[in-house]
Every structure is written in C-alpha cells, then in structure tokens.
Structure 1
C-alpha cells in the first residue's frame, strides 16, 4: 500500500494515552515520550472518535474497584500532549513535516491553570478509509465477570503452554479471524499474513524453548474496550498478559490479545 494511517502520540512532562473508537492503541510517559502506531484495523467509514487522555488511570484497574476521585493538579506551563492522525507514504517517516495530518488533538495548559486528572480531549473525524466492516464492531457487549475471566485465563494458559512446547499452530488457529482482518486492513494476502505470523512465532524458539510468565486468576485483568465489545487481556502491571519472561538481555516478547465473547465462546479479534 502507498500510504499508512498512523496515530502519533507525544507527551512532555506527563503520561498520555491515545484512543480511537473506544480502543486504547498507545500509551506514553517520561521513559517513552513518543509512540507511532498503525491503526487501520481500528478505523471505520464515517466518523471516528479520537480521544487523548492525559494522566490516564491504570490500565489494569479491577472492574469492581471504585474509581478514585480526580486528582486536583496545577499546570506548570511545561507539560503538553499531542495526538495526531498522520498519513505518511509507505517507507517515509511518520512526521508532520512529511505527512498529511488528518486530525490533531492538543493539551498544553498555561502555567498556574488548575485542572483535574485524568484529562480527556475528544474529537470526531471522518477518515478516508473504506475497509470491510470489522467483526469487533458487531460483537456483543460483555462485562469482565469472574466466569469470563476464568474462560479467558484457560485460553491464555493453553496458548502459553502450546507456544512453549513449540506448537505454534494453536496460536495461529486462535488468531485466524484477527489475521484475516489484518490482511484486509493492510492489503496483504491472507496466506502471506498467516506465514508472517508463523515465522514470528517460530522465532520464539531461536534461543531455546521460550518461557512464558505465569498466568493465574489473581494477575489477569480484562479491560473493556469499544464499550465492552472487546476485552483486553492484561496483567497487574497493565502489560499484555501473554508474554515471555525476560531473557538474558532483559527482553520480553508480548502477545496482545483482545477478545470478543459471543454465545459463550471467546474469539481473538485484535
């Protein structure tokens, strides 16, 4: 494809999160002040809701936990955050100077201005996309109940076990619907997209059998996305629940899983 639709998120002196159509796609902080993420698979024809959240709540806050009151803060004049939808040409840097900017949200309060966190800035924008209607748009709304969490935990534990044993086809099969839609989103043949996933999974064993971080009911959190049409599997730290233990270099490989619950079954849609 000639152009790639991306979200670029920048933050100075604060934490920020980017959402599109109710789905969190990027988070930045002092250690990682910039993120650039392709977002074809989260966009829809017509109006798309963009949201910039400054000082977002923890991603893995338990759903039954009462939310704390907003934090009363005062701007120092140095903090800022920006979310931009860019359309760079494939192979070019995703930069405002060399890309078409389709939308932009800014937060930069003047010094001394009081505000309450989290701060949310939203905008509806029509994007030049004509993708098929994604399955997650029609998934039923779901609540992260204990029963659903137990079902998701069993799925993740099975995937982790199979990957650790070198059975990559288990993950390939579970992610088939996601792989099909990602192929459509980025104009890649489905077979090519599937083989790319297989190669990625097979590379886990390059340095020996992969070891995955343990998963249990106490550490799994299901975050509602798209109003509950998707449930994101996170651990207590807000990271992807399915990920490898750090290697000797401290590197861990994550496998984000966003599920839809349909008639008692779970499907990996993103």
Structure 2
C-alpha cells in the first residue's frame, strides 16, 4: 500500500465534527484546530456519506432527549472545512501534495444568522475498493439504549477491566479479534503483527503498574453510530469508557470500543 486515504478537518472560531457513513471520526476546535485521520476501515465501495457538523452536540447527548437548537450570528471569521485526501505514504497530508477526492466547506458571511448544529452533507464516490465490513450488516437498534443493552455493555467493560488489571490480555485480544482482522485488511498489514503490538502495549502497561479506571455503569454512555448498527462506549465525559488512570504526567491510555449487538451478544467491530 503506497497511499493512505485520509480525512482532514479544519475549524476556525468554532467546533466541528467530521462524519463518514454515519460514524464520527474527528473533532476540531480552538484547542485543536486541525485533525488528520486515516479512514480505510469506514470507507465503502461505491457511495459514501460525508458530513460536516459545526457546533455539534456533546458526544454524551442522548438521542431520545434532543437538545434545543442554538441561534447564532456569524462574525465573518468562522469557518470549517472537511476534505478526503489521498496522499502517498511519506508525503505531507495537504492539498498541495495529495489528490483531493471530496470536500465540504462552511464559511458564513458576517451578520448571517444560523442555527446550530449546522450540518452539511454529500454523497461521494471514492475510487477505492474495500471489502464489505462486518458493521454494515449489524442490525440497527432503535434510538435510546435499552436497560439490557446497557447491562451487556457494562458487563463487557467489567470483563475487560478485570482481565487487563490482572495482566490477562488474551480475553481482550480474543474479544476484539474481528476488529483486529478488519483493520489489518483495511491497511494491508498482517493481523498477527497488530495482535502482537496490542499484546506488547498491554504487557508494558501492566509491567509499569498502570491501573485501569473502574467501570462506572451508571455513568456509561452508549452513543449510537451508523444508524444504530454500532454503539460507542463512553464515560460521562465523552471519552472512551475503557482507559487507564492518569500517570504522573497526566497521560491516559484509552481503548475506544464500538460494538454491535447481534442475536443477544456484543461484538467489538471498531
């Protein structure tokens, strides 16, 4: 593989979020005005739905409890842009050195009123060939996590927490095998190498005495993605629910989990 399909998100004077095929992939704001994310594992053969959301709702917002819209007036200096680029590996990820496959741009003139969140979208054909990912065939669940689904998700997190805290890494590696295999396929890397890297990461954390944060089942947020086919497991702060306690420098090792519910079981697919 000599090219890396990459999403580039820029935000000036606002917060913006980039979505691809119903999955949020990046946020940009004043603290981090640019985000670059490889997107092979969320890209489809054929039409892809690209979305740019300006002033998005918090990640923890519940779809069954819609937040009121926010009415704003543009100052002429606020803008957001989203591009899908195809740079060669080793080259810079920018419009000058990479092919632009799709883009969305928002820059309202000064004095124009608008209601946030603002969503721009476009269906684009991306000239790449990927297999049909498993998450596309997961059954969509209705908005609002049921008590049973929340209990399943909390139990899965507790299982991972207990295993990783004791240094028993195989439980996590086995449960995330589908994700590992598809990521390896998406980026043309051996799945065994990806598994070995994960094992090395967890072994290093355990050897260093890094503790995993306790699971707070009451605060657990299940964020629906891809039309309800996936749910992202988040803490009350909108960050991944499975993560270590901060180290002395404040660094946290987080493990994002996006799961699908199929015939009463949860599968980690992203």
**Structure 1 SS opposite 2:24:** strand
Range with greater deviation from structure 2 (259-268 or 234-243): 234-243
Residues 1:241 and 1:97: Cα distance change in structure 2 (over 3 Å): same
Following superposition, the deviation at residue 167 of structure 1 comes to: 1.1
Following superposition, the deviation at residue 206 of structure 1 comes to: 4.4
- Whether 1:83 and 2:91 are equivalent positions in the alignment is no
Following superposition, the deviation at residue 26 of structure 1 comes to: 0.6
How many corresponding residue pairs?
268
The corresponding residue for 2:99 is 100
Mapped partners of 2:52, 2:62: distance in 1: 22
Mapped partners of 2:99, 2:20: distance in 1: 18
Long gaps (5+) in structure 2: none
Mapped partners of 2:153, 2:59: distance in 1: 17
**Structure 1 SS opposite 2:217:** coil
The corresponding residue for 1:15 is 15
Q: Deviations over 1:114-163 (max 9, x none)?
A: 00000001011111221111000000012421110110011011101211
The corresponding residue for 1:227 is 227
Q: Deviations over 1:60-100 (max 9, x none)?
A: 113432x1221110001111111110111112221111111
- Whether 1:204 and 2:216 are equivalent positions in the alignment is no
TM-score under structure 1 length normalisation: 0.96
**Structure 1 SS opposite 2:205:** helix
The corresponding residue for 1:175 is 176
The corresponding residue for 1:37 is 37
Instruction: Output aligned runs, 1:99-138, within 5 Å.
Output: 99-138=98-137
Range with greater deviation from structure 2 (155-164 or 35-44): 155-164
The corresponding residue for 1:214 is 214
Q: Deviations over 1:169-225 (max 9, x none)?
A: 1110010000000011000112122212222222222422x2122222221100110
Long gaps (5+) in structure 1: none
Q: Deviations over 1:18-57 (max 9, x none)?
A: 0000001111111111111100000000000000000000
Mapped partners of 1:103, 1:203: distance in 2: 40
The corresponding residue for 1:189 is 190
Range with greater deviation from structure 2 (152-161 or 47-56): 152-161
The corresponding residue for 1:46 is 46
**Structure 1 SS opposite 2:96:** coil
The corresponding residue for 2:24 is 24
Mapped partners of 1:207, 1:111: distance in 2: 53
**Structure 2 SS opposite 1:204:** helix
The corresponding residue for 1:254 is 254
The corresponding residue for 1:5 is 5
RMSD: 1.1
Mapped partners of 2:35, 2:147: distance in 1: 33
Mapped partners of 2:153, 2:67: distance in 1: 27
Mapped partners of 1:139, 1:91: distance in 2: 35
Mapped partners of 2:204, 2:48: distance in 1: 36
